[in-house]
Amino acid sequence: MRYTLHVNGRRHTVDVDSDTPLLWVLRDTIDLKGTKFGCGIGLCGACTVHLDGAPARACLTAISDVGNKAVTTIEGIGATAIGARLQKAWLDVDVVQCGYCQPGQIMSAAALLAQNKMPSEGDIAAAMNGNICRCGTYNRIRDAIAQAAQSDFGAVPNKRKGA
Amino acid sequence: MVHTRLSPRASAIDVFTGNTSRRDFLKVSAAAGGGLLLSFALPGFAGAATGDAAVLNAYVRVTPDNVVTIMAKNPEIGQGVMTMLPMLIAEELDVDWSQVRIEQAIADHTIYGRQVAGGSMATPLEWDPLRQVGAAARAMLVNAAARRWKVKTGDCVTAHGEVTHTASGRTLTYGALASAAAKLPVPDLGSVKLKDPKDYTIIGHSIPGYESSKLVKGEPLFGIDMVVPGMLHAVFQKCPVFGGKVVSANLDAIRKLPGVRHAFVVEGGRDLTGLMPGVAILADSWWRADKARRQLEVKWEEGATRRQSSASFARQVKALRAKAPAHSLRHDGDAAAALKGAARVLETAYHYPFIAHAPLEPMNCTAHVRGRKVEIWAPTQNPEPGRSLVAQTLGVDADDITIHFRRSGGGFGRRLMNDYMVEAAWLSKVAGAPVKLVWNRTDDMQHDFYRPGGWHFLKGGLDASGKLIAWQQHFVSFGRNGRFALAAGMEDTIFPAGRVANLSVGYSLIPFGLPTGYLRAPGSNALAFVFQSFLDELAHAAGKDPLQFQIDLLGKDEMLPGRGSGFNTARARGVLEKVREVSDWGRRKLPPRTGEGVAFYYSHLGYFAEVVEAAVAHDGQVKINKVWAVGDIGSQVINPTAAVNMVQGAIIDGLGEALNQKITIENGRVVESNFDTFSPLLLKQAPPIEVHFIKSEHSPTGLGEPPLPPAIPALCNAIFAATGKRIRTLPIDPAALKA
């Protein structure tokens, strides 16, 4: 079956079986390898992408269910203000160990911050609990989200003219 | 070229278990050093200028723009070694980190010596040799400058990748000097002068992971991201019962399914670590291959292992515990007599289950077999045994196998085994095409090399003053003919051995057919729970503060026999005293059903003491409020940011094992199949972790494993303090902790 996808602002036409999960279309057909395969049944969050800005598990999303929704992946999230801030915070805090789960972590965090500009610890835990980090970088994931949230949402930029 | 095959399988495993004497340790170290020395003599490495780049040695390449490229010799699995080992070279080379680019080396022990991610051994083995590599390259650059200026080398200094003649102020960059330097003789590595640590500008300074900026953008660095033109995507179905063989399969039906290019039976062998029997399906996409597998019908000959189960093991344990240990491990004094005369005797039983590694990136490998040449792209922790396995199984020469390291999405010991590597190679050979084999999560969880379960039957005797005077232990483990199965053993030097006058330790073995292997902090990840929990029980029975009880038991400062160079009681006392201070141990007022627990352990040459504060709800759910960790890994913490991250991760790993993890065997197969029934620690369960290091005068050692073992007993001891209920079986069962 032929499907037209909108991924990170680009159109892709793919010819795949209708039950193919979005995960495998992204990875093997469009060759965007940042979205990761971890469990295949929506338990680990490594395949988290956004569909029209809402977080979705790409391993459970059949290509036939994507429709006209805009797909955003880790390769595209840096083009958004929230995504760029999160990627910077991830590096500032030095979150990464193996790095395999981190695309999914950042995508879940970006969806959280889009809904909730200043999440509490409880909000972070609720939004991020479905993303497993096997290396155990949770302390730094929490710190990085807090840093990205605080970095400049509604705040006065640091560079004040005439100061 | 000199091929000194280091018999990597043997040395890797010895080193990994830590079951090695100091002499063995030095032998490995010297072999690695010898490898480096040889590398300088290799054609193309010394005295070479290729294109714009001057190659100073197997690790260092300098281009005229003064960019220094350093090879990362070991596989990166998330332990930060790709950044950390080049830091050692860059420091002694005297360059700025901003000048440094890092490249992953190929797997070739004839150039790079031991290339293993295991045993927390990269730091102790490479600390001297790689600093010497950097210093030797620096000496060659200084020598080149001195010749050009016709001055003495002693009158030149280096900094920021430049050589300066102090008297005249003349300066040249390494980039300008490198091609001349590459033609100069290589200094003897042992004679090069190393920096005074107070002059370090890189070692001891926090440097972010080299590939992190790519990883947060999703760049394709992992094994599973590999693409080779024309490759097929493969799945491989093995018998759910370990060791089972294929009798027949509906291959004709499978071959007709969409996208399927090949479907065939792999006869395989009987070695659980090698190519096992199964059915391969190769398709034009992985999804189609895995979908076709759902229609696969295989008749298996399951074999004898199908009669084994967790329940059958428990029955055998029950019979064995009634008897004396079949084998002796250590006897000091007369434990039986001392127990008879003791004022107080505790008798308990501890048990921990089989557990899996479950790295988040499932096992995978890409291979391309062309005639007798084999090319492999593997996320592996231990390439050389994989090379041997592929050579033997495919009947090719080991020298005709090229292995490229791919970044591993976690290892934890799983990728020390190379079963998935030989599978990919075999499938490529049969299909006559490049193949990427990717396991699904069920394959990964049900075909692991498991941390073996174990049972410990303990008696401890205290005298009237509360002093520990007797220790009797019967360890029931797995193995045969007196030999422990892989990773199922126990050393005879675990504290409090050597500090109890009357100690008797023996073991009995259950023969079985399951594959076992090394899981992060092998041995220690299970044994710390047993030893440090029972010592906590004894402390409470003696009416003493558990932390002080352990310090008192450690006694005077001295070296006792133990892993590596031995067990240093002063370093153990040091981490306990420091964790008492930083956690404000025993002085904080805690709410009801909240407690603090302490444990320490010596593992993989490192000393860690940890305090856990945990609260237990009335429904038995455990909430870990905070962890304090203190480590002594010697005189330098090479990359502090990565070190803190590693300690936090190892502790979270241990807490996940304690709270969430158990592998169950039924009818010779694993029951758990995914993260719903076997889970690493989740974010909601993860406590804040405060990390401290003691800098001691000892040579630096590794960090991947030592922080993990004490986390488990520290948590269990905290739960006892909170509830009065002792955890003697893992994983922790909330139902048993209800108020």
> pLDDT tens for residues A97-123?
999 999 999 999 999 999 999 999 999
Q: Shortest Cα distance from A52 to chain B (angstroms)?
A: 20
Q: Which residues of A touch B225 (CB under 8 A)?
A: 33
Give the model's pLDDT for residue A152.
59
B2 confidence band (pLDDT: 50, 70, 90): very low
How many CB pairs (< 8 A) connect A and B? 184
pLDDT tens digit sequence for B337-388: 999 999 999 999 999 999 999 999 999 999 999 999 999 999 999 999 999 9
d(CA B384, CA B398) in angstroms, rounded, equals 9
d(CA A142, CA A128) in angstroms, rounded, equals 9
Answer whether A33 sits within 8 Å of B681, measured CB to CB: no
Answer whether B682 sits within 8 Å of A91, measured CB to CB: no
Average pLDDT over residues B115-142: 95
Q: Are residues B417 and B458 in the same domain?
A: no
Nearest Cβ partner for A33 among B220, B646, B675: B220
pLDDT tens digit sequence for A42-71: 999 999 999 999 999 999 999 999 999 999
Could you tell me if residue B370 is inside a domain?
yes
d(CA A144, CA A110) in angstroms, rounded, equals 11
Nearest Cβ partner for A78 among B215, B217, B648: B217
Give the model's pLDDT for residue B190.
86
d(CA B380, CA B384) in angstroms, rounded, equals 10
Q: Are residues B161 and B206 in the same domain?
A: yes
Q: What does the H/E/C string look like for chain A?
A: CEEEEEECCEEEEEECCCCCEHHHHHHHHCCCCCCCCCCCCCCCCCCEEEECCEEEEHHHCEHHHCCCCEEECHHHHCCCHHHHHHHHHHHHCCCCCCCCCHHHHHHHHHHHHHHCCCCCHHHHHHHHCCCCCCCCCHHHHHHHHHHHHHHHCCCCCCCCCCC
Average pLDDT over residues B457-465: 98
Q: Which residues of B touch A39 (CB under 8 A)?
A: 441, 674-675
| Contact by Cβ (8 Å): B604, B119 | yes
Identify the helix (H) or strand (E) that includes residue B716: helix B708-723
Q: Are residues B629 and B705 in the same domain?
A: yes
State the Cα angle at B497 between B491 and B501, rounded to 5°.
Answer: 145
Residue A36: closest CA among chain B residues belongs to which residue? B361
Could you tell me if residue B407 is inside a domain?
yes
- CA atoms in the 13 A half-sphere facing the CB of A52: 5
Q: Shortest Cα distance from A125 to chain B (angstroms)?
A: 5
Q: Are residues B197 and B273 in the same domain?
A: no
Q: Six-digit token pair at B445?
A: 């969880």
3-state secondary structure of B359: coil
d(CA B475, CA B20) in angstroms, rounded, equals 21
Q: Does position B728 have pLDDT exceeding 70, yes or no?
A: yes
Q: Shortest Cα distance from A155 to chain B (angstroms)?
A: 25
| Contact by Cβ (8 Å): B688, B631 | no
B472 confidence band (pLDDT: 50, 70, 90): very high
Please report, in angstroms and rounded to a whole number, the separation of the first and last CA atoms in chain B. Answer: 70
Q: Does position B8 have pLDDT exceeding 90, yes or no?
A: no
Q: Are residues B182 and B323 in the same domain?
A: no
Interface-testing mutation among B214, B216, B525, with chain A (most A C-beta atoms within 10 A): B216
Q: Shortest Cα distance from A137 to chain B (angstroms)?
A: 6
Could you tell me if residue B444 is inside a domain?
no
Could you tell me if residue B228 is inside a domain?
yes
One DSSP character per residue, B82-101 reads HHHHHHHHHHHHT--GGGEE
Q: Are residues B459 and B555 in the same domain?
A: yes
Q: Which residues partner with B355 through β-bridges? A: B451
B461 confidence band (pLDDT: 50, 70, 90): very high
d(CA B266, CA B279) in angstroms, rounded, equals 6
Q: Which residues of A touch B221 (CB under 8 A)?
A: 99
Q: Six-digit token pair at B439?
A: 């396991």
Whether the pTM exceeds 0.90: the reply is: yes
Q: Six-digit token pair at B182?
A: 């590459």
Q: Shortest Cα distance from B140 to chain A (angstroms)?
A: 35
pLDDT tens digit sequence for B704-723: 999 999 999 999 999 999 99
Q: Shortest Cα distance from B443 to chain A (angstroms)?
A: 11
Q: Which residues of B touch A40 (CB under 8 A)?
A: 440-441, 674
Average pLDDT over residues B23-27: 28
Answer whether B215 sits within 8 Å of A96, measured CB to CB: yes
Residue B231: closest CA among chain A residues belongs to which residue? A28
B22 against A74, higher pLDDT: A74
Closest CA to B118 of B17, B34, B35: B17
Q: Does position B29 have pLDDT exceeding 50, yes or no?
A: no
Question: How many other CB atoms are found less than 10 A from the CB of residue B533?
Answer: 27
Q: Does position B125 have pLDDT exceeding 70, yes or no?
A: yes
pLDDT tens digit sequence for B259-271: 999 999 999 999 9
pLDDT tens digit sequence for B99-122: 999 999 999 999 999 999 999 999
Give the model's pLDDT for residue B639.
98
Could you tell me if residue B3 is inside a domain?
no
Answer whether A98 sits within 8 Å of B225, measured CB to CB: no
CATH of the domain at B136: 3.30.365.10
Q: What is the DSSP letter of B737?
A: G
Answer whether A133 sits within 8 Å of B221, measured CB to CB: no
Answer whether A135 sits within 8 Å of B410, measured CB to CB: yes
d(CA B76, CA A12) in angstroms, rounded, equals 34
Interface-testing mutation among B217, B627, B657, with chain A (most A C-beta atoms within 10 A): B217
Q: Are residues B484 and B554 in the same domain?
A: yes
A153 against B723, higher pLDDT: B723
- CA atoms in the 13 A half-sphere facing the CB of B512: 31
**Burial of A51: CB neighbours in 10 Å, binned 0-12, 13-18, 19+:** middle
Q: Shortest Cα distance from B213 to chain A (angstroms)?
A: 7
Q: Does position B600 have pLDDT exceeding 70, yes or no?
A: yes
Please name the residue ranges forming H helices in B598-677: 640-660
Whether the link from the prior residue into B496 is cis, omega within 30° of 0, is: yes
Q: Shortest Cα distance from A116 to chain B (angstroms)?
A: 18
d(CA B424, CA B421) in angstroms, rounded, equals 5
Q: Which residues of A touch B233 (CB under 8 A)?
A: 28
Q: Are residues B143 and B248 in the same domain?
A: no
Average pLDDT over residues A18-24: 98
Interface-testing mutation among A28, A39, A85, A147, with chain B (most B C-beta atoms within 10 A): A39
Closest CA to B502 of B324, B325, B344, B340: B340
Answer whether B361 sits within 8 Å of A36, measured CB to CB: yes
Q: Does position A155 have pLDDT exceeding 60, yes or no?
A: no
Give the model's pLDDT for residue B89.
98
Residues in CB range of B231: below 8 A, 6 or more apart: B366, B368, B433, B434, B435, B436
Identify the helix (H) or strand (E) that includes residue B571: helix B569-582
d(CA B299, CA B727) in angstroms, rounded, equals 43
Give the model's pLDDT for residue B341.
97
Final residue before a domain boundary, out of B388, B408, B438: B438
Give the model's pLDDT for residue B48.
55
Answer whether B219 sits within 8 Å of A34, measured CB to CB: yes
Final residue before a domain boundary, out of B212, B235, B266: B212
d(CA B345, CA B276) in angstroms, rounded, equals 49
Q: Shortest Cα distance from A96 to chain B (angstroms)?
A: 6
Please report, in angstroms and rounded to a whole number, the separation of the first and last CA atoms in chain A. Answer: 61
Final residue before a domain boundary, out of B162, B193, B212: B212
Residue A62: closest CA among chain B residues belongs to which residue? B287
Q: Which residues of A touch B646 (CB under 8 A)?
A: 97
Give the model's pLDDT for residue B474.
98
Q: Shortest Cα distance from A161 to chain B (angstroms)?
A: 31
Could you tell me if residue B443 is inside a domain?
no
Interface-testing mutation among B291, B377, B683, with chain A (most A C-beta atoms within 10 A): B683
Nearest Cβ partner for B683 among A35, A87, A129: A129
Give the model's pLDDT for residue B528.
98
Give the model's pLDDT for residue A74.
98
Nearest Cβ partner for A17 among B211, B258, B410: B258
Q: Shortest Cα distance from A157 to chain B (angstroms)?
A: 24
Answer whether B287 sits within 8 Å of A20, measured CB to CB: yes
Closest CA to B624 of B711, B532, B524, B725: B711
Residues in CB range of B89: below 8 A, 6 or more apart: B59, B60, B70, B130, B131, B133, B134, B137
* Average pLDDT in chain A: 93
B13 confidence band (pLDDT: 50, 70, 90): very low
Q: Which residues of A touch B80 (CB under 8 A)?
A: 97
Q: Shortest Cα distance from A43 to chain B (angstroms)?
A: 6
Nearest Cβ partner for B209 among A24, A33, A96: A96
Nearest Cβ partner for A43 among B650, B674, B689: B674
Q: In chain B, pLDDT over 70 holds for what percent of residues?
A: 93
Range of the domain at B718: 310-355+450-737
| Contact by Cβ (8 Å): B89, B70 | yes
Residue B677: closest CA among chain A residues belongs to which residue? A43
- Residue B458 CA: distances (Å) to CA of B154, B244, B601, B709: 64, 37, 19, 20
Q: Which residues of A touch B286 (CB under 8 A)?
A: 24, 27-28
Give the model's pLDDT for residue A101.
98
Q: Are residues B116 and B197 in the same domain?
A: yes
Identify the helix (H) or strand (E) that includes residue B291: helix B286-293
Q: Are residues B431 and B508 in the same domain?
A: no
Average pLDDT over residues A63-82: 97
Question: How many other CB atoms are found less than 10 A from the CB of residue B155?
Answer: 14
- CA atoms in the 13 A half-sphere facing the CB of B56: 31
d(CA B678, CA B445) in angstroms, rounded, equals 9
Where do we find the tokens 């090479």? B638
Closest CA to B524 of B455, B604, B469: B604
Closest CA to B74 of B42, B38, B32, B39: B32
pLDDT tens digit sequence for B511-538: 998 999 999 999 999 999 999 999 999 9
* Average pLDDT in chain B: 93
Q: Does position B34 have pLDDT exceeding 80, yes or no?
A: no
- CA atoms in the 13 A half-sphere facing the CB of B521: 31
Q: Which residues of B touch A89 (CB under 8 A)?
A: none
d(CA B684, CA A128) in angstroms, rounded, equals 8
Q: Which domains does chain A have, with CATH numbers?
A: 2-76 (3.10.20.30), 78-152 (1.10.150.120)
Answer whether B287 sits within 8 Å of A21, measured CB to CB: yes
- Residue B5 CA: distances (Å) to CA of B28, B59, B114, B373, B696: 12, 20, 10, 20, 35
Answer whether B217 sits within 8 Å of A40, measured CB to CB: no
Give the model's pLDDT for residue B297.
98
Q: Are residues B540 and B560 in the same domain?
A: yes
Residue B643: closest CA among chain A residues belongs to which residue? A97
Q: Which residues of A touch B381 (CB under 8 A)?
A: none
- CA atoms in the 13 A half-sphere facing the CB of B607: 26
Q: Shortest Cα distance from A135 to chain B (angstroms)?
A: 5
Interface-testing mutation among B79, B83, B287, with chain A (most A C-beta atoms within 10 A): B287
Q: How many domains does chain B have?
A: 3
Q: Which residues of B touch A84 (CB under 8 A)?
A: none
d(CA A98, CA B77) in angstroms, rounded, equals 6
Give the model's pLDDT for residue A61.
98
Q: Does position B46 have pLDDT exceeding 90, yes or no?
A: no
State the Cα angle at B118 between B113 and B120, rounded to 5°.
Answer: 100
Could you tell me if residue B1 is inside a domain?
no
Give the model's pLDDT for residue B51.
62
Give the model's pLDDT for residue B16.
34
d(CA B674, CA B168) in angstroms, rounded, equals 68
Q: Are residues B372 and B392 in the same domain?
A: yes
Question: How many other CB atoms are found less than 10 A from the CB of residue A60?
Answer: 15
Could you tell me if residue B217 is inside a domain?
no
Answer whether B440 sits within 8 Å of A75, measured CB to CB: no
Residue type for B74, please? N
B5 confidence band (pLDDT: 50, 70, 90): very low
Identify the helix (H) or strand (E) that includes residue B546: helix B546-554
Answer whether A136 sits within 8 Å of B412, measured CB to CB: no
B25 confidence band (pLDDT: 50, 70, 90): very low
pLDDT tens digit sequence for B140-173: 999 999 999 999 999 999 999 999 999 999 999 9
Q: Does position A13 have pLDDT exceeding 70, yes or no?
A: yes
Q: Does position B47 have pLDDT exceeding 50, yes or no?
A: no
Q: Does position A151 have pLDDT exceeding 90, yes or no?
A: no
